[in-house]
């Protein structure tokens, strides 16, 4: 931290710093070999490319959403968790998320399907989160974006796997013939259905815009979800 300050960097969030162009070279030298991401402003919006066979590994133009939590509220934290489940975002720092930036012409295609970075920022602001949104950013470090892209895909896959695991936990008591609160479980099942629909739309976005196919993982979650439905809505319940 002190090294960054000495080089003239300004801290604007927990793990987010702003630097001037003239400071770029020494700061790039400083972060080399560390788990850091350096962005620069871009005039236009470029689409992501994930075709390693063509030598094109580029996450494209992104938006950073930085926020600070309001006074402790489990309800607001739960609302934030639900909102993030509908955004093709990756956590890159404390209260800091990276979201691929859509071109204006593409935004209407995904309206009501996924939350865009602008909609996420508005959602947070409406709930008294202190929000800063930095758009039109391109990654300049790491130069090899393959690990970053892999981490991004893993973050989206983990969202799906969390739903899969949650559904399996939900149905386990019924499989073990343990008495359960059927009404409570049905309420949970309803929330899981909403999560599944959000994930389905993210998977659609990833396939169309980034050429990433997570449908096999989504299918596993769907099967687990349907298993819960069959068990919980059976006459025995």
Q: How far is CA 93 from the centre of its chain?
A: 12
- Mean residue pLDDT of the chain comes to 85
Average pLDDT over every residue of 190-203: 93
- Answer positive or negative: Cα dihedral of 212, 217, 223, 226: negative
> CA 104 → CA 15, 41, 111, 134, 156, distances in Å?
29, 18, 11, 16, 23
Residues 175 and 170: their CA atoms lie apart, in Å, by 10
Residues linked to residue 201 through DSSP beta bridges, in sequence order? none
> What span, in angstroms and rounded, lies between the C-alpha atoms of 55 and 108?
30
Taking residues 122-130, what's their average pLDDT? 86
* 3 state SS of 47: coil
Cα 108 to Cα 199: distance, rounded to the nearest angstrom: 19
State what percent of residues in the chain have pLDDT above 70.
Answer: 93
For residue 99, pLDDT beyond 80: yes
- Given a cut of 50, whether residue 64 has pLDDT beyond it is yes
For residue 196, pLDDT beyond 90:
yes
pLDDT in tens, 223-236: 999 988 777 666 55
d(C-alpha 81, C-alpha 175), whole Å? 29
Could you please report the per-residue DSSP string of 101-146? PPPTTTGGGGTTTS--HHHHHHHHHHTT-EEEEEEEEEEEESSS-H
> Which pair of structure tokens corresponds to residue 43?
């005039």
CA distance 7 to 230: 61
**Cα-atom radius of gyration of the chain, to the nearest Å?**
20
**Domain parsing of the chain, residue ranges:** 39-141, 149-232
What is the CATH architecture assignment of 39-141? Answer: 2-Layer Sandwich (3.30)
Q: CA–CA separation, 5 vs 227, rounded Å?
A: 55
Q: In terms of C-beta density within 10 A (0-12 exposed, 13-18 middle, 19 or more buried), how is residue 21 classed?
A: exposed
The strand pairing partners of 51, in sequence order, are 56
If you average pLDDT over residues 67-89, what whole number do you get?
Answer: 82
pLDDT confidence band for 122 (50 / 70 / 90)? confident
Four-point Cα dihedral 156, 162, 165, 167, nearest 10: -100
């Amino acid at each position: 931290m002190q090294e960054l300050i000495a080089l003239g960097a300004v801290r604007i969030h927990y793990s987010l710093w702003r630097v001037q162009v003239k400071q770029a070279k020494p700061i790039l030298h400083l972060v080399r070999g560390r788990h850091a991401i350096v962005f620069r402003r871009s005039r236009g919006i470029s689409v992501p490319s994930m075709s390693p066979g063509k030598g094109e590994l580029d996450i494209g133009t992104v938006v950073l959403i930085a926020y600070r939590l309001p006074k402790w509220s489990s309800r607001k934290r739960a609302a934030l968790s639900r909102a993030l489940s509908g955004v093709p975002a990756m956590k890159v720092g404390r209260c800091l998320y990276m979201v691929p930036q859509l071109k204006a012409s593409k935004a209407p295609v995904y309206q009501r399907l996924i939350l865009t970075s602008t909609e996420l920022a508005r959602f947070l602001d409406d709930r008294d989160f202190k929000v800063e949104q930095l758009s039109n950013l391109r990654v300049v470090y790491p130069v090899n974006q393959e690990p970053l892209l892999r981490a991004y895909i893993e973050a989206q896959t983990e969202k799906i796997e969390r739903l899969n695991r949650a559904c399996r936990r939900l149905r386990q008591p019924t499989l073990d013939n343990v008495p359960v609160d059927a009404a409570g479980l049905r309420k949970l099942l309803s929330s899981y259905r909403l999560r599944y629909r959000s994930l389905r739309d993210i998977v659609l976005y990833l396939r169309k815009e980034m050429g990433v196919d997570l449908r096999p993982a989504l299918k596993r979650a769907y099967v687990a979800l349907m298993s819960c439905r069959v068990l919980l809505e059976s006459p025995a319940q």
